Each structure stands twice: as C-alpha cells, then as structure tokens.
Amino acid sequence: MTTKHEQPTVFELSSTGRAGFRFPQPDVPSAELDPALERSDLPMPELSELDVVRHFTLLSELNYAVDLGFYPLGSCTMKYNPKICERTARMPGFSQLHPAQPIETLQGALLLVYEMQDILQKVSGFTAGSLTPAAGAQGEFCGVKMIAAYHADRKNDRRKVMLIPDSAHGTNPASSVMSGFTVKPVPTDARGNIDLDGLRALCNEDLAGIMITNPNTLGLFDENIDQVTGLIHQAGGLVYGDGANMNALLGVVKPAELGFDVLHFNLHKTFATPHGGGGPGAGAVVCTDTLAPFLPGPLAAVLEPATEELPPLYGWKMPEKSIGRVGAFSGHFAVIVRAYTYCLMQGADGMRRIAEHAALNANYLMHALKNAYPLPYDRTCMHEFVLDAKWEDAPGVRALDVAKRLMDYKFHPPTNYFPLIVHEALMIEPTETESKQTLDAFIEAMLAIAREAHEQPELLHGAPFTTPFGRMDEVKAAKDLKLTA
C-alpha cells in the first residue's frame, strides 16, 4: 500500500488539560459515586472543540460520497438521497418515539408504516407485506423461510432444493442455505436469460422454489420470465423475487403479474436512503395471499375500524402462521420514513419516471461505451449493464485497473468482479437521478481509460495516484484484518 496521508489519531492530538466543553456548576447536591464504577485506566483524549471539528472534518474528506460525485455502483443503487428525506426522518414526532410506547401514542407512526406496506403492495401487485427485515439479505432469508414454512404446512417434506441462477447475488445462496435448503445453480443462456432446458432438467419433486433477480444482475430483463415461473409452478415450487433493485420496474411492471409469489424490496436502494458502510437498511417483504400467513411480524394493522366519531386505531399484529420476528420491535423505522417521503414525493407518475430514466441513463452509457469496452450481452439493458474489461490487444489490463484509475478521474469505481459469469466484470448503474452532463463526463473518463489501457498499461497498474491512499493490498486487507489501532 502506498500512503500519502497521515492523519494523527485523537490520542496523538490530545493535550493535557484541553477541553471542548465545561460542565456547569451543579445546582443539586453532589452524591458519592460507587467506587466500582470509577476507572483511572481509561484513557480519554483531551481536545478543544476546534481540534475535534477539524479532526473529523479532515477524516470525512478522505471519503468519497454520493454528495461529492457520481457513484455508478452496479446492483447497489447509490442514488441522490434527497435532503428532505433526512428532514422528515429527524422530525421529533418520528425520531423521539420509543417502540414500546402505548400504541395510542404511536398512531402517526403506525399509520405511516401501514401506508408504506400499502404502497409497496401497490407497486409490486402483491396483497400483503412486512417491513420488519433490516436489510435485503434478511428480507431474502424471510422470503425463503416463508417458502419452507409453506411446504411444511402442506406436510411436504421432500421439497428441499432451491434453484438459483448462476448470475445471482451472493446473498441468495447464503439465505437459502441458512434456511435449510440445498442450492442448485441454473445456467444462463447466450442472451443472458435463464436457460430453459437447464431449468427443465432441475424441475422435479424435490423442488422447493427458485430465487430470481429480474432484471438480473447483468441488467437484463428475462425474455422468458412467464415460462420460467410457469415451469416452477407446474413442478409444485414457488418463485422468490430478489427485488433489491426495483428502479427499472417501478410503475411499469408488477412482479406479482410475472408469476412471483414473494419478493423483497431494498428500501435503501430503490427508495433513496443513504446506505454506505453497511447500513442501516430495510428489506421489506411482499407476497401473495397464499404466503401472507407466514410473513415475519409484526405488521401494522387496523385494530379497530373507524367509527363516526373516531379514526381507526392502528396497532401491531403477528400473522397467524408467522415465521416469527427477525429483530427487536418493528424494523428500521427511520429508513421507512425516508422511503415513505420519497414515494410521496414521486406519486404514481413519478414512479414510472424513475423506471424510464433509470433505463434511459443506463442505455445511454452502454451505447457510448460499448465500442471501447467489450460488452458480453449486447441487448437493451434495464437499470444497469455489465462490461468485460478484457482486451486481446491489452492483455495485462484488468477490471481492477480500470476501477482504480477511475478514482483519479474523481469517480467512484463501479462494482467489479460481479456477476461471476463475466470474468472482468464492470457493473455500471448510473441511476435515474444523474444528469446528462454527469453521464457525459463519466463517458469521457471511461474512454480516456480505455485509451490508456492500450497506450500506457503500466499507468493503470499503479493507479490510483491522486487519492489519500494508493492501491491497497486487498488480499492482505482481507486475510490480516486489524480493526483496532
């Protein structure tokens, strides 16, 4: 690793006697502290307010962020997060609630959760839903657990195989295995669809279901989706939809109408919530009437209908055969507030515009780049597309080199080495919130890097040169993890 940046720690900056805050004189009698709680061996840095503000502001400048520039991270949907969503999430009426308060004092929050369940059902075409899962992966875990519970409820204990296309996100096999399924991969055909012959060969009495991402992680809408869901249902299985990235379908296609039985949304991707650094998120699950009794709880529900004098009373309800709770209380409420704000800002027309612009922006980039970078699946894409950064006349250059070099051009690198079926994958998702000027600047940088790959490949191997830290030894970072100073 090349290091050009040395930021002292707060302990190195510490200066004895310095303080940023002084406690006022107490206006109550002092009390003795339990000596067992006293510690003299706990080092605390001593800093002024200015020291602290500068330290953390400098640290924040080392990070790249969607508030600083374009973030074309495929499959992870890093779009502009409207600041009004932050304002609403911080409103005291939302942020100062405690989930254990009596429900009579939580009616506004419960109404919001209830309406968000309803919005997600309308958008997806399903009739039931739960907002409790804390992330996409947890939503998947719930969905496949619901499929397991459905088969168990029908006393069918043979169905233990979950099919997963080889283009799938890594969380899909992980959720299936955690739920007790055996995973079998389904091949992808030359056009990037699920291979129907390969699928037929796997449909039998052991089949529990399939997990499908559509558009898939190549950014392609499966052209045979009706046949795929039909084959699974004929064989007695159920269809799970990985709806982590629904940007391309909103207001245009309802997954329930494609034959899906259960689907999760990533509110933190599709509906604008900042989610760098691993969270927090919300992996809402929606499903058909058949699977509704198995949903994780609690769900927001009308406990007492409205009367002439009174509005309805909202509260929490556990579905009758629920797979249970997947966290304390009722999910990441502040994420739900942000997503709800975003949905209300859009309205039904706006939802459709999200999908149109997400697909338009991705196709615009794809067409501008496909003569400079190999494009393994060359057809109209949805919200993202995958290039293969591998040139016969520049054999030493890899996707990682292109990704690192982009940092010198002040762009966040796209997702790379995923999906696994494209070896030097660069997975690019511009999102619907970027302007043509930003996309054009990105195209210019990508074309310049493709030229460098041929003319100065050694330059790419050394990149990035302009960031506070140079190229990391990623193997060492993973194998020799040090999380403390």
Binding status of residue 175 toward ligand PLP by CB under 6 A: no
Buried b (16+ CB within 10 A) or exposed e, 242-276: bbbbbbbbbbebbbbebbbbbbbbbbbbbbbbbbe
Of the candidate residues 88, 124, 167, 171, the single one contacting ligand PLP (CB under 6 A): 171
Cβ–Cβ < 8 Å for 140, 330: no
**Of 145, 137, 207, 218, which Cα lies nearest the Cα of 172?**
137
Q: Helix (H, G, I), strand (E, B), or coil: what is residue 253?
A: coil
Q: Which stretch binds ligand PLP (CB under 6 A): 31-39, 98-106, 131-139, 387-395?
A: 131-139
Query: Based on CB atoms, which residue is closest to ligand PLP, 242 or 401?
Result: 242
Binding status of residue 242 toward ligand PLP by CB under 6 A: yes
Annotate 326-379 with three-state secondary structure.
CCCCCCCHHHHHHHHHHHHHHHHHHHHHHHHHHHHHHHHHHHHHCCCCCCCCCC
Binding status of residue 247 toward ligand PLP by CB under 6 A: no
Binding status of residue 416 toward ligand PLP by CB under 6 A: no
Query: Based on CB atoms, which residue is closest to ligand PLP, 195 or 384?
Result: 384
Binding status of residue 135 toward ligand PLP by CB under 6 A: yes
Q: How far apart are CA 65 and CA 78, in angstroms?
A: 9
- Minimal distance in Å, beta carbon 89 to ligand PLP? 18
Binding status of residue 249 toward ligand PLP by CB under 6 A: no
Binding status of residue 285 toward ligand PLP by CB under 6 A: no
Of the candidate residues 47, 112, 131, 137, the single one contacting ligand PLP (CB under 6 A): 137
CA distances from 219 to 65, 149, 193 (A): 24, 31, 11
Binding status of residue 281 toward ligand PLP by CB under 6 A: yes
Q: How far apart are CA 301 and CA 290, in angstroms?
A: 18
Binding status of residue 124 toward ligand PLP by CB under 6 A: no
Of the candidate residues 283, 297, 331, 430, the single one contacting ligand PLP (CB under 6 A): 283
Of the candidate residues 149, 244, 256, 387, the single one contacting ligand PLP (CB under 6 A): 244
Query: Based on CB atoms, which residue is closest to ligand PLP, 75 or 124?
Result: 75
Q: Which stretch binds ligand PLP (CB under 6 A): 33-41, 116-124, 129-137, 310-318?
A: 129-137
* 291 CB-near residues (< 8 Å, 6+ apart): 128, 146, 147, 150, 238, 261, 262
Cβ–Cβ < 8 Å for 209, 240: yes
Q: Which stretch binds ligand PLP (CB under 6 A): 240-248, 307-315, 424-432, 452-460?
A: 240-248
* Matching residue, tokens 């195989």: 161
Of the candidate residues 213, 229, 322, 361, the single one contacting ligand PLP (CB under 6 A): 213
Q: Which residues bind ligand PLP (CB under 6 A)?
A: 75-76, 135-137, 169, 171, 213, 217, 242, 244-245, 266, 281, 283
